[in-house]
Structure 1
Amino acid sequence: MSPRLSVVMIAKNAADLLPDCLASISWADEIVLLDSGSSDNTVELARSLGVQVHVNRDWQGYGIQRQRAQDYATGDYVLMIDTDERVTPELAQSIRSVLAAPQTGAIYSIARRNYFLGRFMRHSGWYPDRVMRLYERDRYRYNDNLVHESLDARGAPVIELAGDLLHLTCRDFSGFQQKQLAYAAAWAQERHQRGKKTSLAAIFGHTLGAFVKTLLLRGGILDGKQGWLLAVVNAQYTFNKYTELWALSRGYSEKVSL
């Protein structure tokens, strides 16, 4: 008998994204969704579509929340995706092939095809943007990172799968910016807790470096207008990360004494 596959995802206020996402993984043995406190009808919609839904509002970061979601799964293998991602037919076939002839201990790398402001980003460091998302449930766990979480998979063999995972990065630009700000704050908080510091020179150096890397070194200029805009967005994100860390390390706040 082939191993069972659990598709696992975390979500918040994703009702508009769920139907297409779930349609792309309807062939899975089990779909598990952990909601972190949606105010829309994400939970009700997911349940009506046959998803095993759980709710945990105690948000402690992406790493912990992904592991909580994985702990609800019962399949032999886990495919971890987000609600703004879609499994293409070619990728689905690759996953089925893995389940038909699994390799013990292997982690499977998936090429993510990112869309930004209506364009498939072929360059800019955004393609193939490989992510490790298919693995044996009992063998691998997520770390506790607030953001940029990853599997604890040191020394594991990594096998690249054919087929893309579509990623709709920007439903609306204001929402995208809010998400970037939240990521930057979490990144800075995590490093501040580890005693990391930065300087004004480093802030501007990293910011300029992010712009140049995206636009020139990673070929963003070949992605047209969106490539230029993404270079600015990446520079802004980098500026926000390091400025937040700089402020935290110096104890700055908006509280004043009158």
Structure 2
Amino acid sequence: MILNNSDNKLTALVITYNEMEHIKKCIASVSFADEIIVVDSYSTDGTFEYLEALPNVRVIQRPFKNFTDQKSFTLDKASNDWILFVDADEVVPRSLRTEITQTIQKPNALDAYWFYRKFMFKDSKLNYSGWQTDKNVRLFKKSQCRFAQHKLVHETLQINGKTGVLKEKLVHYCYKGYSDYKAKMVHYGKLKAKELHSKKRSCNLFKLIGKPTWKFAYNYFIRLGFIDLHKGFTVCYLNALSVYVRYDELSKLQALTATKAKNTVTTNEKYKLNNVEMAAS
């Protein structure tokens, strides 16, 4: 696709699946962009229909494989070089919009920018629980960046150039409800297990029990989750659950691979034995 480099135009990108609770605020907050593209994974809650009715949004439906695959596809659809890639449950505050606009107009603008995020537990702020220093690249030049293909979850942007950090924070409504956040963490855990399995990583009892325990203790005690009270305990527990699911699923994938390998060996042995018997007869 030919990139439009004139006037430092901006494309806002979003991927969605059943995000009606947040998508209206998200799209409204990126309406200052010259182009808005959303790739939806066949939502069933009205998200696609809502987006389809918006005159300033181009929405595409595509099956979801993993986050890197979906975001790479979405990035490829952008016609402008400057990209603002936000999650459907994120909102760009007015102050951040101003900073983004001013930044991409600079003749000496860098190739990518990190955003700090303010995490919201429903409608109240999470101050700690491991999130206080979280930051992600959300604004970047398409010509200088691409998503690392080996990552299935917590996708990584590979940047060929210099990066900076914006001062204003992106608002992330990370927690809609217990069942929703739990489902998200379980999904992340299973995708991460597939990623580790593809890298030939192994699981043992220490990883299955020790790593989730450490994840909770680190975020709740060292990263001060206890100061967030009930909110902090809930988020720290569910984040630790995701780590447990990761290694539990990895152990299942290992067992499945071992079974397939054993069956293959057994089949080969039977084949060789049949050939020997046929030759002897």
Shared topology, TM-score over 0.5? yes
The answer as to 2:44 corresponding to 1:39 is yes
| Counterpart residue number, 1:149 | 155
> 2 CA distance for matches of 1:32 and 1:168?
21
Higher helix share: 2
Structure 1 residues 21-69: Cα deviation after superposition (integer angstroms, max 9, x where no partner): 1111111111010111122322221132220111212x22101110111
| Counterpart residue number, 1:89 | 94
- What percentage of residue pairs aligned between the two structures are identical? 28
Q: Which has the larger radius of gyration?
A: 2
> 2 CA distance for matches of 1:231 and 1:18?
26
Map residues 96-175 of structure 1 onto 2, 5 A cutoff.
Answer: 96-103=101-108, 105-144=110-149, 145-153=151-159, 156-175=161-180
Question: How does the TM-score come out when normalised to structure 1?
Answer: 0.91
> 1 CA distance for matches of 2:14 and 2:162?
24
Question: How does the TM-score come out when normalised to structure 2?
Answer: 0.84
Report if aligned partners of 1:79, 1:134 keep a CA contact under 8 Å in 2.
Answer: yes
Determine helix, strand or coil for the equivalent of 1:127: coil
The answer as to 2:68 corresponding to 1:68 is no
| Counterpart residue number, 1:52 | 58
Report if aligned partners of 2:185, 2:241 keep a CA contact under 8 Å in 1.
Answer: no
Structure 1 residues 74-126: Cα deviation after superposition (integer angstroms, max 9, x where no partner): 11200000111000111111101112205455210001111125431111221
Report if aligned partners of 1:112, 1:166 keep a CA contact under 8 Å in 2.
Answer: yes
Structure 1: gaps spanning 5 or more residues: 253-258
> 1 CA distance for matches of 2:102 and 2:125?
27
* Cα gap change, 1:75 to 1:247, in 2 (>3 Å): same
Report if aligned partners of 1:113, 1:128 keep a CA contact under 8 Å in 2.
Answer: no
The one-letter code of the counterpart of 1:186 is L
Structure 1 residues 211-230: Cα deviation after superposition (integer angstroms, max 9, x where no partner): 11101211112222211222
> 2 CA distance for matches of 1:172 and 1:42?
18
1:230 paired residue among 195, 218, 235: 235
Report if aligned partners of 1:2, 1:99 keep a CA contact under 8 Å in 2.
Answer: no
> 2 CA distance for matches of 1:228 and 1:41?
32
* Cα gap change, 1:185 to 1:110, in 2 (>3 Å): same
Identify the range of structure 1 (1-10 vs 35-44) with the bigger mean alpha-carbon deviation. Answer: 35-44
Q: Number of residues paired by the alignment? A: 251
| Counterpart residue number, 1:206 | 211
The one-letter code of the counterpart of 2:204 is S
> 1 CA distance for matches of 2:123 and 2:22?
16
Report the alpha carbon displacement of residue 246 of structure 1 after superposing the two structures with TM: 1.8
Structure 2: gaps spanning 5 or more residues: 1-5, 258-281
| Counterpart residue number, 1:181 | 186
> 2 CA distance for matches of 1:105 and 1:56?
32
The one-letter code of the counterpart of 2:125 is F
Give the ranges of 4+ consecutive aligned residues of structure 1 lying more than 3 Å apart after TM superposition: 102-105
